[in-house]
Structure 1
C-alpha cells in the first residue's frame, strides 16, 4: 500500500494511506449533508434515481412526481420548461390568487445552498395570471438528473429543525455526485434520443359545430336569434370551415428529443474533482421546445487530515420556444380583438396563420449559476463548519408581433428580471462521550445570514412605425428622456429586498443506540415584517426509541424504532407591502388594468382600493408541526416500512377580510387565519428476490393521505368570501363553491315557488332576485329556501387537491437485463371542467371579448359528448351552463404509467471486457404510456392551480427513447 508520504515527501504525522484518505473523504462529505435530529436517523427512503435517470424528464418536479413520499406535483402544462409547482404535506393556506402558490413552495437545497425562489410580485402589474411575466421558465429545469447523486424530501420537524423558516413548507435536499479519488480519471458518457407519439384525437369542422348548435336553435331560438347565427357556421360553402379538418397534421407534428452528457471524475487522495457538461433538448407540439446547456464542476480537498474543503459550481443556460396560443398572446398584449371568426381547421389556412410568425420575435432565455464554498474542521469530538453560497437566476424575454398578427397594429415588449440569493452559514458541534461512550451529550450552535434581491424591468408598447423596427429605444437629452420612433409604450420597474438572520442552539442526549432526544431553540429575524415584530423565538423537540436493541437478537424485526418530533416554525412572506403599512398608488385608470393610470388631465393618487386595506403592523405567521413515525425492517432489512403520521397547524396567517363598503375597500388584510393539515406518509421497499446472476426483484411504493380544514378566521368569523371563493370554518380550503344542480325545468309547472308578495300571491323563483326562471332553465337547489337563487345557495363541494397520492414501482434484473417501471396515482380529487362549460355556453362566448372565450386551433376537436348534458336554453339570463355548478364537477382520480425502461449492459461481453469498459448500458424507455381515469375530457393532471380544466395547455405526451450510459 502506497502512502502519501512516500509519494510527496510529506511528514508521516500528516499522512494517511490512500484508502484511509478515501474513507476520510467519504465521512467528511457525508457531514456536509443536512444535519437532521435523531427523529430521522432510522430508515431514510431517498428518491430512487435509477429509473428516472433513464427517462427524458427535465425538471426536479418531474423527478419527484410519484417518487417521493409526501410530495404532490402539479404539472398543468406539457410545454417544455413551463412552470410546475410542488406541495409537501398538503395545502397549508388557501389559494386566493396565483401569487399564493409561490408562497407555498418548498425550499430546494443544492449541496447545502438554498436556491432562490420565484417571486410573484410581477403579477401585480398583470391583467391575467396565465403566465408570469418574463420567460416564464421553470427555474428547476436547470438541474441535470445525471449530475444528481441523491434527492431527499425533508418534512418532519426534526428534518427541518436546523433549516428554520426557509423550510417551513418542507425542503428538497439535493446532493450532486461527489468527486471521489481515483487512480485514473473515470469518464462517463450519457445520451438518449427520443420521439414524441402523436395523440389520437377526433378533429371536427363547422359541420359538427352546426349539428351541435342546431339542437339549441331548434328548441329555443327566436327569429332574431336565428338571424344572428354565426357566419362561419352558417355558410356551408366556406371550405375553410367546412372543408377537411386536418390542422392536427401541423399542430401535432412530432419532434425529436435528445440528451448528450459528458463527465470526468479524477484526482488523488488529497484532492479530487468532478466535471460534467450536457446539452438537452425537450420538445412538445405546437413547435415548442426547451434547449438546456448545463455545466458542473466540483472539487474536494484535504489540505490537512482534519480539514475538508469543498466547492461546487453549477451553471445552466436555457432557451425556450413558446407556444402560438392566441390566449397567451392576448394576455401579453392586454388586448382581446374581435373573436367572431375562429381559426380555420383547414391545414392550409392554419399554415397561413403560422406563416405570420416568421417576422415575429419571442425570445425566452434564462441564465443560472449556483456556487458554494465550504470548509469543515474535525478535531475528535469537535466540528467547525462554514459555508458561503450564492445563487443567481436571470430571466430575459424579447417580444415583437407584427401588424399581420395584430390586425394592423404591432406589439413589442422587453423584460429583464433577476433573482439573487447570498447566504452564509456557520456551525459548531461538540460531542461529549460519557461512561465508555454509553451516554453521549451533543451540543451545537449555528448562525446563518441570507440576503435576497429581486428585480425586474419591463416595457411594452404598440404601433411601431413598421414591422422592421422591433425594439423600443429611448433617447437621453441631458436629464430628460424622450421617446424614439413615437412608439407608445409603458415602462415598469420594481425591486424587492429581504434579509433573514438566524441563530440556533441544540442540545441532545443519547443512551447507547437505544434512546435519543434533541431540543433546538431558534431566534429568527426577517426584514419583511413590521419593524417592531421582526424577531421570533421557536422551539423544536425530537426523540427516537430503538426498540430493536431491547429485543432478542434473532427476533422477527431487524429494525424497529419509534420516532416523534414537535416544533414551531416561522413562516416567511414574499410580499414587502405588509411591512410598509397603509399605502397609496395610482388607482385611477383604465378599467381592468391594474396599474395603468388615466387621470383625465389631472394627476392623482388614491389608496389601493383594488388591493385592499393594509394595516400598519404585521408579525410572524407560524406553523406548529407534530410528527409521529415508526421504522420497521424484516429479514435484515430486505423489507422496510416507514410510516409517519403528521398534524400541522399553520396559524396567524394573513387573509383578506370583508369590511364595511363605506370605507371604499372591498376587504382588509388581517392576521388570524389558521389551517390544519393531517395525514399519513407511508413508504415500503422490498428486495423480494435476490439471486446473483439470476432473477432479482426490488419493489417500492409510497402512499400518502392528506386532509386539510380551516380552523380559524380573524374576528372569530365563521366564513368569508373572496371573489369566487368561500372559506368556512371546519371545511377544507380546497373546495369548490358551486350551485347544486337538480335537473331541468321542462314545463311551467316545474318552476319552483319564489317569494310571497304583499298581496299573498307567490312569484316564481328568480335568479338574483330579478331574473325569473323559465322553461329550459336548470334547477338549482335553494339551500336557504328563500325563493331566490343567489350566492347564498352555493355550497362547498369536493377537493381540487388529491386526498390520496402515491407511486408504485419495481426493478427486475436478470443477468445483464434490467426492467424498471413506475405507476403514479392521485385519488379523491375533482376537477371543474371549464372547457366543457365554455363550449356549452357558446351563446355568451360568441362575439365576446372575454379572454376565456378565445377559440384556439384545438377548438376543432371533439372533447366531450354533448348528448350527456341537459339541453338548457343557452340564451337564458340565468346562464344555465355557468361553470360554478356541480354539473361540471368530475372525478379526477387517475392511475398513470409514468415510465417503463428496459436495458442491457454490454460490458459483460468479451469485446468490452478486453477494452476494460466497466459499464455500457443500452436501454429503451417509454414515458406517460397510459392513463386510467373516469374523467371525460383530457388528462386529469392538467388542471390549473384552482382545479379548473380549461384545455388550453399542451398535453403531457407519450414518448419513446433509446439511450446509452457508458463508463470508461
Structure 2
C-alpha cells in the first residue's frame, strides 16, 4: 500500500517526471513486479530489493502486477515516490503458473494433478536434501529421511509402492529440464549404505525457485516410461530485468537428538540381572555374569550421552547477484553449508555450490535462449553409531578410552566382548561433485508456431575412501593384522536432446494448444572399487602405491540409451471445457530386441462449472468450481542394464570364462494404469478453497529378479511376474485466508492423504519364492506374525500359537497379517504476518502402527526402564531368565503381534519467525533491506510410541532421522 507522502512533491508545471519507489509484500521487498503505465506499452520491473524507477506524467496511472497477487493502481499526480505493498490473491487461480514439464498451465485450467511448492517454503530450511523440505506439504507424497546424517538419500514414494522391487519405485527427477538419475549413489559408509547418497545433495536450497510434483496420468504420461512413479520438477532461480542487485544471507545454529530412551540405572539393571540367575537357579560366573563379577558395580553411564549426545553445529551462507535489461537477464548464486556431528569425534559435512542463469532474447522477441548451470560439491566424513548397541550395553560397562586416548580393551576382553567403539579410528571421506546444465533455445517461426530445443548434460563424480587402521580393533583380533583402505569411485554422466514444435491458435471460442517432440538420451554409469592392505604405516593408509596387496572389488560400466516421440493436444472451449491428450512412444536399451518399444498415453478433462450461468445465478456462494478426471498408462524400465543377455566373468586361471547371469530376451515393460477424478471448490470469493482427489493406480507385468532352483546353476533370472499391484486413495486439500487487512494477514493450508496398497493378484504365489513375503488381497509392506496368546502359567515364558499343532514354529503358524503402511498422513501450515513480523509454522501428522523393536522385556540383558515391571508379581511379562527356552520364547514374541502398537505422531516440523528492520536508517549506508530470522526444525513431537523416532517405527526401532535444529540468521539486500 502507499507509504503516503513519504513522497516528495514536484512543481505544478512539471508534467513529465521520474517516479521511484519500493514494492513489498508481507514478507518484504518483491523483485520482478511488473510496473507499467496503464493503457500504454511503457513499463519496468522491480529489482531484487523491490525498487523501481519509471518516467511518468501527472495524469498517468501506474499498475503494479505480480502473479498470485492482487494488482494495484496508483495515480501519479505530482508524487515523486510511490511505495506499494501487494496483497496475495488466492482467488486469481488463472495467474498461478504451473510447470508441467514440456508445457505450462495454470492452477485454474489444469486437468492433471500438479502440486507446486515455492521457494519461500524451501529455501530457509536447514536441510541438505531439497525433497526433505516437502515433508507434510504435498498430498500423496511420503518423504522418509534416509537417516540422521546429511547427504543420506531420503525414500520418496508418490502415491505408494507400485513395483515389487524397491529400485522400481523411484520418481523421475528433472532439474531445469535435465533428467537426473534418481537412484541413490552407492556408498560403503556403514551409515550411508542403507539408503545410499542422495543424488540431489549437491543442490543449493536457496537457489530453488519452485518444486512441482506431478502425480496422475494426465500430468505424467507425456514422460512415458519415466513417469510411472510420479515426476518431480525442480526449477532454479533466474534473473529479472533490473539494475544489478545483491542478496546475502547467513544463518547458524545447532542440531541435537530430540528424544531419549528411558533406560535402567545401574541399581535397577543389577537387580534385573541377579533376578535372572535366581529364577534359573544358576550360579553366576565370570563368563556368564561379567557385569556382576568383573565390572565396577558403582559405575553408571547413560550410553545415549556417549553415542549421540553431542551438539552438531550448522552454518549456511549464501550470496546472489542478479540483474539485466529487457533483453538479457542474469543471476549468479554461490553457497556454502557446513554441519557437524552429534556422534563422538570432530567430523563434519561440507557443501559448496555455484549456479548461473542467463537469459537472452532478441529485440523482436523471435529468438530467445536460456542457459542454466548448477555445480555443487560436497565432502562428507561423518560416521555414526548403531542405536541397537544402546540397549545391549549395561550402565556399569567399563570406560571406552584409556587416558592416552587409545581404545580401552582389557576389561572388555575379560568379558569376551568387543569395545562398542571398535572401529572408532576408522576414517570415512566421501566426495562428490555434480554438474547439471541445460541450454534452451526457442525460435518463433510464426505468431502461433514456435520451435524449441532443450540440450542438457549432467556429470556426477563420487569418490569414497575408508581408512581402517589396526588401532581401531582389539589387538588380539584378526582385524589388527594389517592396515586397510577401501576405495569406491563412481561416475555418472548423461546427455539429452529434446527438440519440439509448439502450436497454438483460436477458432472462435475454441483455443488449441499442441506440441510434438522427440527425446534422445544416453547415460553411462561407471563404478570401480578396490581394497588396499598391508600398509607399513598408518600414515600411508589410502595411498594405493604403498599398499602391499590390492584386491579388485566391483568394476563395471553400463550404458543406457533412450529414445522417444511425444505429443500433446490441449483443447479449451470458452474457458469452461478442457480436454488434454498426451502420448509417448518409448524405446529403451534395457529390453531385448522386439521388446524395446512401448506406447503410453493419457486423456484428461476438466469442466469449470462455476462459469455456467445457472451456477452464477443460483449458487452465488460458490466462487469457483471445477470437476476433472484423467485416465492413462505409464511404464517402468527401472531395472539393471543388459539383463536380457547372458553374462560371463573370467575364471581365476587365465583363458577361461564362466556364466554369471542367464539371458531372458522376452521380458518387457511394467505397465502402470492410472485413473483419477477430482473436484476443486472455492467459497467466499475464493477465500476458502477445497480440493479432493480419488485415484487408482494398477501396476502389472511386474519386473523382478525371479529366483531359480539351485540345480539351474543360477540364483535368478530377470522376468515379468504375473502380479498386479494396486494403489488407491483419497487426497484432500484445503486453504483459507482467515484474516486479511493492511497490517495483519493469516493464511492456512491443510492436506491429508488416505492411501491404500494391495496385491490384487499373483497366480501361483503359494508355489513361488515369495510365498512367505506377500499375500494376495493385502499390501506389499506387511509383516507375517505369530498370534500371541500370553505368558504360559507353567513355564512363566511368552507363548505364541502353534496353529497347525506340529510342535514347531514356522511361516505356516504366522497367521497374523500386519499392514505396516500409513493409514493417513498430511500437514497443516499457517502463515501470519503483522506489519514487518512474519510467523510460519508447519505441523506434520501421521496415523500408523509401529514395531516396538526396542521391546526387550524377557531378555536377561534388558536395558529399557519398563522392564522393571517384570519383577512384580502378576507382571504381564515373562520371567527374567537367560535360559535357552526363555531366549527362544523372546525371539518368537519378537515376531508376534504383541510388539506392535500405535506409532502415530504429530510433529512441529518447521517454525520460522522473522522481522524486517525499518528501511530508512539502513538505506543511508546502502542497505535496502535487513531481515533477521529464527528457524526451528523438528522442535517437538507428540506421540505415544515408545521408541526413538515414530517415523521409523516400522524399521529397526532404534533409528532416527529427524534431528532438532534451531538456527538464527540475517538477510541483507543491497
TM-score, structure 2 as length reference: 0.80
Match of 1:905 among 902, 913, 916: 916
Q: 2:265 touches 2:395 (CA, 8 Å); kept in 1?
A: no
Secondary structure, counterpart of 2:643 in structure 1: helix
Which whole-Å CA distance do the structure 1 matches of 2:251 and 2:258 have between them?
A: 22
1:371-405 deviation per Cα after TM superposition (whole angstroms, max 9, x unaligned):
10001223321122100011221111112121111
What is the match of residue 850 of structure 1?
none
| Aligned-partner SS, 2:922 | helix
Distance change (3 Å), C-alpha of 1:48 and 1:215: farther
Larger CA deviation: 664-673 vs 55-64: 664-673
Distance between the aligned counterparts of 1:195 and 1:17, measured in 2?
Answer: 50
In the alignment, is residue 267 of structure 1 matched against residue 267 of structure 2? no
C-alpha distance in 1 between matches for 2:623 and 2:127: 36
2:396 equivalent to 1:389: no
Matching of residue 457 in structure 1 with residue 523 in structure 2: no
Q: 1:797: Cα distance to partner? A: 2.7
Within 2, Cα distance between the matches of 1:173 and 1:200?
34
SS of the counterpart of 1:643? strand
- Alignment match, 2:288: 229
Q: Is the contact between residue 591 and residue 668 of structure 2 (CA under 8 Å) also seen in structure 1?
A: yes
CA deviation profile, 1:331-379 (whole Å, cap 9, x unmatched): xxxxxxx999997466877964399989754211110111100012233
5+ long unaligned stretches in structure 2: 1-15, 18-39, 48-63, 68-94, 409-420, 475-479, 871-875
The answer for the alignment partner of 1:305 in structure 2 is: 365
Equivalent position of 2:174 in the other structure: 109
1:776–1:873 Cα contact (<8 Å) kept: no
Residue 461 of structure 1: how far off its partner (Å):
3.8
Partner of 1:879: 888
Secondary structure in 1 matching 2:540: coil
Q: Secondary structure at the match of 1:109?
A: strand
Match 2:903 to one of 892, 914, 928: 892
User: Offset at 1:460?
Assistant: 1.7
Aligned 1:175-324 pairs, distance under 5 A: 175-182=235-242, 184-197=243-256, 199=258, 201=260, 208-220=268-280, 222=282, 228-237=287-296, 242-245=299-302, 248=305, 251-286=308-343, 287=345, 288-303=347-362, 304-324=364-384
Return the alpha-carbon distance in structure 2 between the equivalents of residues 117 and 243 of structure 1: 46
For residues 459-518 of structure 1, what are the alpha-carbon distances to aligned partners after superposition, in whole Å with 9 as ceiling and x for unaligned?
A: 1244422323213535xxxxxxxxx64235343311221111010233333211111112
Distance 2:152 2:163 in 1: 24
**Structure 2 CA distance, aligned partners of 1:48 and 1:738?**
44
- Contact 1:810–1:820 (Cα < 8 Å) also in 2: yes
Counterpart among 630, 637, 640 of residue 686 in structure 2: 637
Inter-partner Cα distance in structure 2 for 1:705 and 1:823: 17
> Do the aligned residues in 2 keep the contact of 1:194 with 1:256 (CA within 8 Å)?
yes
Equivalent in the alignment of 2:586: 524
Contact 1:520 1:539 in 2 (8 A): yes
What SS class does the counterpart of residue 728 from structure 1 fall into?
A: coil
- What does the per-residue CA deviation read over 1:565-624, in whole Å, with 9 as the maximum and x for residues that have no partner? 11111101231252215x4569xxxxxxxxxx9x8x99987665xx9x664421111100
Could you say what secondary structure the match of 2:898 adopts?
helix
RMSD of aligned alpha carbons: 3.8
| SS of structure 1 residue aligned to 2:819 | coil
Query: 2:810 aligned with 1:744, yes or no?
Result: no
- Cα deviation for residue 64 of structure 1 reads 0.8
Mapped to 2, the partners of 1:603 and 1:42 lie a distance apart of 58
1:966 pairs, out of 960, 963, 972, with 972
Taking the aligned partners of 2:199 and 2:640, their CA distance within structure 1 comes to 20
> CA separation in 2, counterparts of 1:227 and 1:916?
75
2:61 aligns with: none
Secondary structure of residue in 1 paired with 2:169 = coil
Which whole-Å deviations, capped at 9, do the CAs of 1:639-681 have from their partners, x for residues lacking one?
2222211100011012455666654666665412210000112
Distance 2:352 2:512 in 1: 48
Inter-partner Cα distance in structure 1 for 2:202 and 2:281: 55
Alignment of 1:538-549 (within 5 A): 538-549=600-611
Equivalent pairs counted in the alignment come to 856
CA contact (8 A) 2:327 2:360 kept: yes
**Alignment CA distance shift 1:664-1:832 (3 Å):** farther
For 2:553 and 2:112, how far apart are their aligned partners in 1?
A: 55
Could you tell me which of 143, 146, 161 is aligned with 1:73?
A: 143
1:505: which partner in 2?
A: 567
* Mapped partners of 2:303, 2:45: distance in 1: 68
Q: How many angstroms does 1:889 deviate by?
A: 2.2
Aligned 8 A contact 2:149 2:191 in 1: no
Specify the alignment match of 1:574 in structure 2: 639
* Cα deviation 1:721-756 (Å, max 9, x = unaligned): 449x51111111011122121112221xxxxxxxxx
What whole-Å deviation, never above 9, does each CA across 1:918-945 have from its counterpart, x for those lacking one?
43221112221111112111111235xx
Aligned to 1:86: 156
Structure 1: distance between partners of 2:629 and 2:965: 43
* Partner SS state of residue 941, structure 1: helix
1:58 CA drift (Å): 2.4
Q: Distance in 1 between matches of 2:927 and 2:146?
A: 42
Pick from 406, 412, 431 the counterpart of residue 365 of structure 1.
Answer: 431
Q: Residue 130 of structure 1: CA displacement?
A: 6.4
Residues 539 and 956 of structure 1, relative CA distance in 2, 3 Å threshold: closer
Q: What's the CA shift for 1:424?
A: 1.1
- The answer (yes or no) to whether the contact 1:246–1:345 under 8 Å persists in 2 is no
In 2, Cα distance between the equivalents of 1:615 and 1:32?
Answer: 37
Q: Does 1:935 align with 2:945?
A: yes
SS of the equivalent of 1:269 reads: coil
Aligned to 2:939, what secondary structure does the other structure show? Answer: strand
| 1:227 CA drift (Å) | 6.5
Q: Is the 8 A contact 1:863 1:938 kept in 2?
A: no
**How far apart are the structure 2 equivalents of 1:159 and 1:87?**
17
Partner of 1:335: none
Match of 1:161 in 2: 221
Q: 2: CA distance between counterparts of 1:227 and 1:359?
A: 30
Q: CA deviation at 1:522?
A: 1.5
Using the size of structure 1 for normalisation, the TM-score is: 0.81
Partners of 2:883 and 2:664 lie apart in 1 by: 45
The equivalent residue for 2:193 is 132
Helix, strand or coil for the counterpart of 1:831?
Answer: strand
Q: Classify 1:235/1:967 alpha carbon distance in 2 versus 1 (closer, same or farther; 3 Å).
A: same
Partners of 1:199 and 1:624 in 2: how far apart? 42
The partner residue of 1:806 within 826, 829, 839 is 826
- Whether the aligned pair in 1 keeps the contact of 2:123 and 2:208 (CA below 8 Å) is no
Partners of 2:629 and 2:797 in 1: how far apart?
56
CA deviations on 1:860-900 (whole Å, 9 max, x unpaired) are 88697674743375533672222322222232211111121
Q: How far apart in 2 are the matches of 1:28 and 1:903?
A: 26
Tell me if structure 1 keeps the 8 A contact 2:489–2:527: yes
